Structure 1
Amino acid sequence: MSSPVRHTDYRESAPGQGIRIRNLNKSFGKKHVLRDITVDFAPDRVHGLLGANGVGKTTLMSVILNHTFRSSGEVLIDGEDPRENARLLERTCFVHEDQKFHDDDTPASLLRILPTFYPTWDTDLAERLAPRFKLPMSTRTTKLSRGQRSALAIVISLAARAPYTFMDEPYLGLDPGHRALFYEEFARAMAEHPRTVILSTHLIDEVSDLLENVVMIEDGRVTVDADIDDARDSAFVLRGLEPVVRDVVGARRVLREYRLGNILSVTVDGTATAEDRRRADAANVSLEPVTLQELVAARGMRGTDDAEMSV
């Protein structure tokens, strides 16, 4: 393999401004997928893009990258419009679950040619990761298993070191051991070369320790945009016998509830107060912090249909 390609590190010469989105809308025919989205993705942070299936997460990433045209609104990356912008193209990397490659590509050929597309490409890292993920380097990508395609996409996303990296569940094809390897290498890559990452996932609790900020979408709208700790503090769970749980809940807004036998679990909107804790203790009701997985389930059960959009 060729020697490492060394280019200017954009983070040193031109610190990123992040991603700014204002009043963004996207419709497919009469179906509104994104509705008046206004959100900022701060630079050099890992942003979790969360929500139920079909709420517009993939569409949002695709519109940011101009892979799909917006209906209206503003998108800026580093203060520039990404439409027909070659400078921004080489600063972004997008990998996703169903990653497509050319029929004649092999992992070896891709890792040779990609440094020409990414000025920040780290060949040493690519050469280290490929065997760790057990990539069959001479096998055509059409012959790779789903897990091997996922592994290849992950190697590309980490080695590219793109200042703006978009990851739409590329690791869903991996077994638990290789997912753990991805989390390890992702954390190491962010520590050594911070970048702005937008990470969409269904494996929310698995990746929660990697996230710094959470953007949650429900029915095409941003309903949560918060630091990870603030997001976790935005709701809490009460668990116990139904009559006493309902008494502790009182007039608080309930986001979700479910029963297991005679035990009722209720996800309550808002931060748990000292009075909430006192009442729960007095009633022998468990009061627990909400997990991100529970929060997404509680806040985002409805969705539009991302399947209408091809990426």
Structure 2
Amino acid sequence: MTGYAVSARDVSVRFGDTRAVDEVSLEFAAGEIHGLLGRNGSGKTTLLSTFAALRRPAAGRVLVDGEDPFENERVMEGVCLIRESGDVLELAKIPENLRYFANARPTWDADFADELVDAFELDRRKPVNRLSRGQQSAFGAVVGLASRAPLTVFDEVYLGMDAPSRYRFYDLLLADYVEHPRTIILSSHLISEVERLFAGVAILEEGRVLLAEDADTLRSRGTAVTGPSAAVDTATAGLTVLSTRELGRTKQVTVYGDLDEAALAAARAADLEIDAVPVQDLFVHLTNREPS
């Protein structure tokens, strides 16, 4: 399988007295698309910077393709981190940027890069810093996709794009991933838009791992049960309740955990509506800091 595997083992990163990342242990399998989720300040960008060797952990160890990436030329040639801030030559025009990345990245596909520039309707005559905010984000996406790096990381790179451009990016990413598999990590607040891409999901909360598991497994853990209040209460008794909504005599309870076949059958026999819960809704409930 192509792509670099990534391993974080008890990784901590400090800024003064603050631990931005606190004893994080995660595994990202090679050749899959992973989601790294978390609220603002959860440590996502800091952790990703250790994968790209932009920051060395204060404690613990990061391994990319089985090796420490820090000052490791072989590994870093195969790692491409694109952040919201750009990570391109802002004062240079698009053609100069493309030539620079072609020389810097052994897996660079120049023809694909040109196709992507056209797909996002970017003006080659302008320096990158003269493009609109959304166009700058799109160009970051171009660089990340055309790099075809064995480890490609997109850290909120698509936030500046309008909706059509974001969906174009998702479609292009998935289509190219199918043709050229590699390890891709997506960090995003737009979870509802990108969750369909994920094979695995990790959630950080205040610098620690809240959960890390297969995306389908995570989806299966969330269930919304809707119907008459008494019947819903009976069906969800003893389960972990994430949220409750009531409208008159109707109640909806979102639970986290496995409902076995017997429980599901009993709920359906009571004419209760059983629905899956999107990853974004699970994320909101699991990271809710408000007192219950």
1:73-222 equivalences in 2 (<5 Å):
73-222=60-209
Contact 1:252 1:268 in 2 (8 A): yes
Are positions 1:270 and 2:234 aligned together? no
Specify which structure has the bigger relative contact order, considering alpha-carbon pairs within 8 angstroms and separated by 6 or more residues: 1
1:25-64 equivalences in 2 (<5 Å):
25-64=12-51
Residue 234 of structure 1, aligned match among 218, 221, 225:
221
Report the CA distance shift for 1:22/1:286 in structure 2 as closer, same or farther (over 3 A).
same
Contact 1:224 1:231 in 2 (8 A): no
Identical amino acids, percent of aligned pairs: 37
Consecutive unaligned residues in structure 2, runs of 5 or more: none
Q: CA offset at residue 230 of structure 1?
A: 1.1
Cα displacement string for residues 45-72 of structure 1 (whole angstroms, at most 9, x for unaligned residues) = 1011122232111111012222223120
Contact 2:35 2:201 in 1 (8 A): yes
Contact 1:52 1:297 in 2 (8 A): no
Provide the C-alpha distance between the structure 1 equivalents of 2:104 and 2:224, rounded to a whole number of angstroms. 47
Provide the C-alpha distance between the structure 2 equivalents of 1:260 and 1:143, rounded to a whole number of angstroms. 51
In structure 2, the partner of 1:7 is none
RMSD of Structure 2 on Structure 1 (CA) = 2.1
Q: CA offset at residue 260 of structure 1?
A: 5.9
Consecutive unaligned residues in structure 1, runs of 5 or more: 1-10, 304-311
Provide the C-alpha distance between the structure 2 equivalents of 1:259 and 1:52, rounded to a whole number of angstroms. 27
Report the CA distance shift for 1:109/1:259 in structure 2 as closer, same or farther (over 3 A).
farther
Q: Specify the SS of the correspondent of 1:21.
A: strand
Q: Specify the SS of the correspondent of 2:102.
A: helix
Report the CA distance shift for 1:103/1:190 in structure 2 as closer, same or farther (over 3 A).
closer
Cα displacement string for residues 237-262 of structure 1 (whole angstroms, at most 9, x for unaligned residues) = 22334444233211211123345676
Contact 2:88 2:140 in 1 (8 A): no
Q: CA offset at residue 103 of structure 1?
A: 4.3
Report the CA distance shift for 1:267/1:106 in structure 2 as closer, same or farther (over 3 A).
same
Q: Normalising by the residue count of structure 2, what TM-score does the alignment of the two structures yield?
A: 0.92
User: Mean Cα displacement is larger for which, 40-49 or 247-256?
Assistant: 247-256
- Pairs aligned (count): 290
User: Mean Cα displacement is larger for which, 268-277 or 294-303?
Assistant: 294-303
